[in-house]
Amino acid sequence: MKISHSLILALLCVVVLSSGCEKEKTVANISKLSGDTWAEKLGYPKDKVILILHADDIGMCEEANEAAMPYLSANEIQSAAGMVPCEYFEEFAAWYKDHTTVDVGLHLTLTSEWQTWRWGPVAGKENVPGLVDSEGYMWRDVMSVVQHASAAEIEMEIRAQLEKALSLGIQPGHIDTHMGTLYASYDYTAAYLKIAEEYKIPAMAINMSGEVAEKFRAQGYPITEGLVDLLDSYPLPKLDDFHAVEHGATYEEKKVNFYNQVRNMKPGLNEIIFHPSVLTENLKTITNSWQQRVWEAQMFSDSAVKQFFVEEGIVFTNWKEIMQRYKERTGA
């Protein structure tokens, strides 16, 4: 059957108009949210620190899985994200099938930073050659990724990671970015946020207004005005601020540093990431940060830390609850 040019044009108009309507609907939905912070917009108590304790690098090694699983099962932390390209991700995915109520996200991985513990792209080396170094693995550092990988390759790889997780039965509560790679380039961020909207899975995105943007610029991230505008136009929920657990020379010093971090947080939706792992000789061969990771595997089941949260009046949440509140308030 021949299709007339007029019918093709009519169909194209429907697609364009539908897209425009969806955009207008999204804008209308967001206008239903009110408040100075995203915590307020989502109905959390005003003037409270709303906190997600978030475990990164799960699936990277068996030691990380063994640390995160008990934390999540006991509700001692609220969220975790797995590294799809890594050897032990499938073990974590199998565990998730019996724990589908927890907030498990994807730690979208575009680097392979360790000396001997390496991985390559899920999309296949031949399909994303700009993501692969001379040894056949992902680049060890973010700058090398930016120098070699196109935005199209980035999008292909993060789609491949998302689709593999879905095929293994994981329904991600969110997506985020290993080593911050997806915020190292405007085009990478655009691809990241586009996929979040397409799959309706919230990205770890930050409200980059005022001093928050300055904080990340000081850390070396290219927070341009264009990137700030891109984040402003992203319609799904955003964090008001983002933090990483600080190092300590001893376990007790690490706890004190953490307490100070939390006390200095401003009211709003905050996430603080950490990298728990149980102690093995293998972990010591993977990373020189093994001691910090081992302490982080015990910190949030520590009764003193739990009492600190009570005394500070911390309100906990996770990405699944955030998205549920967003849908309830916007009708999205």
- 135 CB-side CA count, 13 A: 14
Q: How far apart are CA 202 and CA 195, in angstroms?
A: 9
Q: How many domains does the chain have?
A: 1
Is residue 27 situated within a structural domain? no
Is residue 5 situated within a structural domain? no
**How high does pLDDT run on average in the chain?**
91
Q: How far apart are CA 3 and CA 110, in angstroms?
A: 43
Is residue 28 situated within a structural domain? no
Is residue 22 situated within a structural domain? no
At residue 283, the 3 state secondary structure works out as helix
Is residue 230 situated within a structural domain? yes
Q: Who contacts 141 (Cβ-Cβ below 8 Å, separation ≥6)?
A: 111, 113
Q: What is the pLDDT of residues 139-186, one digit of tens each?
A: 999 999 999 999 999 999 999 999 999 999 999 999 999 999 999 999
Is residue 274 situated within a structural domain? yes
Q: How far apart are CA 46 and CA 206, in angstroms?
A: 18
Is residue 16 situated within a structural domain? no
Whether the per-residue pLDDT at 26 is higher than 90: the answer is no
Q: What is the pLDDT of residues 45-62, one digit of tens each?
A: 999 999 999 999 999 999
Burial of 230 (0-12, 13-18, 19+ CB in 10 A): middle
Quote the domain boundaries for residue 247.
42-330
Is residue 268 situated within a structural domain? yes
Confidence class for position 31, pLDDT limits 50, 70, 90: low
In terms of pTM, does the model score above 0.95? no
pLDDT value of position 14? 37
CATH number of the domain residue 63 falls in = 3.20.20.370
- What is the b/e burial string over 166-192, where b = at least 16 CB atoms within 10 angstroms of the residue's CB? eebebebbbbbbbbbbbbbbeebbbbb
At residue 92, the 3 state secondary structure works out as helix
Q: How far apart are CA 83 and CA 109, in angstroms?
A: 6
